[in-house]
Chains A and B, each alone.
Chain A
Amino acid sequence: DGGITQSPKYLFRKEGQNVTLSCEQNLNHDAMYWYRQDPGQGLRLIYYSQIVNDFQKGDIAEGYSVSREKKESFPLTVTSAQKNPTAFYLCASSIDFGQGGQPQHFGDGTRLSIL
């Protein structure tokens, strides 16, 4: 079945540590996205990628980094510079970017907590 796989489901970060969240899709989608969800707030865009080897900052990119070396993979690294990383992280993809009419499909999320 085609879809988006996020791993791990739960992740714990120690003080000063960088952690990487995995996102893999087999939908052959060009565009991929990372969102952060906090209680009582809507999803906020961290980074997005329109195509392989390209990515752009979203609304809350500080303290995060990404790479897009392969079409199917878009890992997110939460760096030690992100002082409030505890949240639910969601990865999404869409067929392409810039058309305004393509739905985004989401993975099941990774919950990150501070130790």
Chain B
Amino acid sequence: KQEVTQIPAALSVPEGENLVLNCSFTDSAIYNLQWFRQDPGKGLTSLLLIQSSQREQTSGRLNASLDKSSGRSTLYIAASQPGDSATYLCAVIYNTDKLIFGTGTRLQVFP
């Protein structure tokens, strides 16, 4: 069964810390992996998409890496800010072209 797991489920840190959010998937034959941000009561905002042939993608203070062989991706957030507080979701696509989501990491960054 294709499953996606995110650890930790929740994280609370002081402003300025560098963070690592983890995502693991059971079937390594992915097409791509996408990281999303979700604010309370809102939809999802796409942050980064990594193709299966890529090792990492960067956007501003965010960097996502992908290790297909070990079934892992990490989202690195540099110099965290209170505005980064949200739930971060990881999702993978296999050959069915349907996203399979993890349960998310709820992040709180306090001043």
Contact = CB atoms under 8 A, between A and B. Distances in A.
Interface string A1-36: 000101000000000000000000000000001000
A100 B103 contact: no
Nearest to A48: B98
A104 B99 contact: yes
A30 B11 CA distance: 37
A98 B94 CA distance: 10
Contacts of A97: 97
Contacts of B91: 42-43
Interface class of chain B by DSSP: strand
Nearest to A105: B46
B61 interface: no
Interface of B: 4, 31-32, 34, 36, 41-46, 49, 51, 89, 91, 93, 95, 97-104
Contact of A98 (B32, B36, B89, B97): B97
Given A40-B103, A42-B101, A43-B99, A100 B93 contact: yes
A86 to B, nearest CB: 15
A108 B95 CA distance: 27
Contacts of B98: 45, 48, 58
A90 B44 contact: yes
Contacts of A58: 98
B101 A101 contact: no
